[in-house]
Amino acid sequence: MTAQITPQPGIMDIALYEGGSAHIEGVEDVVKLSSNENPLGPGPAALEAFRASAASLARYPSSDHAELRAAIAETHALDAGRIICGAGSDEVIAFLCQAYAGPGDEVIHTEHGFAMYRISALAAGATPVEVAETNRTTHVDAILAACTERTRLVFIANPNNPTGTMIGGNALARLADGLPPQALLVLDGAYAEYVADYDAGAELVETRENVVMTRTFSKIYGLGALRVGWGYGPRAVIDVLNRVRGPFNLSTPALAAATAAVRDRDYTAHCRAENAKWRAWLAAELARIGVPSDPSHANFILARLRNPARAEACDAHLKSRGLIVRKVAAYGLPAALRITVGDESACRRVAAAMAEFMETAE
């Protein structure tokens, strides 16, 4: 008998996710600016908590994440009972798709939206639906127009990756209120900590039954290696997600470091200020040499070159100078490069290398 082993429908439509690379053949002193990591790393309190957790590696981790949820709730003034923690916010996104979307259901994401929305929708057997943006910005009316009776989830990253743009609170509320009754709005706040006075949609979650917010420790907290994210939503939704969550999805070192990190508000504020300073500096330097970008609300800049060939050539030039940035053709932006805001030295190197490149012939 010939074996006929086939995966669930949709799985083979998933393109393998490519992380930002970290090495260049033959080039030393390489700076990785391709994954929006915090150039300052985690804070000292988080590192200390991580080290201390080595004493209890033989024990299974907490399964209810009570301490981390309490710390998050305290820092953000939220209800700890409506927080769910995941192995990265990627896992929370996957839980949402697994729990709320299946074959025949539609999952909306925006034109230049984060890749995991499409991947998780397909993994759940659902149909991803891409909605056009306007000037690289989420377009609420286009999303509402794309909703059908099959729409189950709508994913918006605000600020968005890789565009760095965001929409305001009124637009978000209009989106939540305009969705069909069976659709859940997911506000991905991976970069929310970089925006001053932005609650990432927490208020919308509090006042609506159809809004969930996701957050991560991979960006401003500098803990990408540990894989910690969380979600905040209506009690009924969080209860559903907890049923699909594995009991030990987060390791003890990850829980310990994240708990310390979210309590260390001074360090978070320091990282936010450094990012804002060097982001503004880099954007101005690029604009001065003829490389435009939209005002970014995150820890990266989407630099726009004249055409895809120029973006490729610019990427190659930056690589020759030891600078790894992110090509974003897969996000429908073939003429752009996403550049993480590094520390001062990295930003100065990027500006200098870009200036060299812009002096080369078209």
List of residues contacting ligand PLP (CB under 6 A): 36, 88-90, 114, 157, 161, 188, 190, 216, 218-219, 224, 229
Which one, 19 or 181, has the nearer CB to ligand PLP? Answer: 19
Which one, 216 or 252, has the nearer CB to ligand PLP? Answer: 216
Closest CA to 193 of 265, 115, 282, 255: 265
Quick one: the chain helix, strand, coil %, rounded to 5?
45, 15, 40
Which one, 137 or 216, has the nearer CB to ligand PLP? Answer: 216
Residue 77, sorted as left (phi over 0), alpha (psi -120 to 50) or beta, turns out to be left
Which one, 208 or 326, has the nearer CB to ligand PLP? Answer: 326
Question: What is the enclosing helix (H) or strand (E) of 49?
Answer: helix 44-52
Nearest distance from C-beta of residue 185 to ligand PLP, angstroms: 15
Closest CA to 91 of 246, 269, 304: 246
Nearest distance from C-beta of residue 287 to ligand PLP, angstroms: 24
Beta bridge partners of 151: 106
Nearest distance from C-beta of residue 229 to ligand PLP, angstroms: 4
DSSP 90-133: HHHHHHHHHHH--TT-EEEEETT--HHHHHHHHHTT-EEEEE--
Which one, 43 or 349, has the nearer CB to ligand PLP? Answer: 43
Nearest distance from C-beta of residue 133 to ligand PLP, angstroms: 14
Closest CA to 22 of 329, 338, 319: 319
Nearest distance from C-beta of residue 200 to ligand PLP, angstroms: 12
Asked if 341 and 282 count as a contact pair (C-beta separation under 8 A), the reply is yes
Which one, 36 or 249, has the nearer CB to ligand PLP? Answer: 36
Nearest distance from C-beta of residue 36 to ligand PLP, angstroms: 6
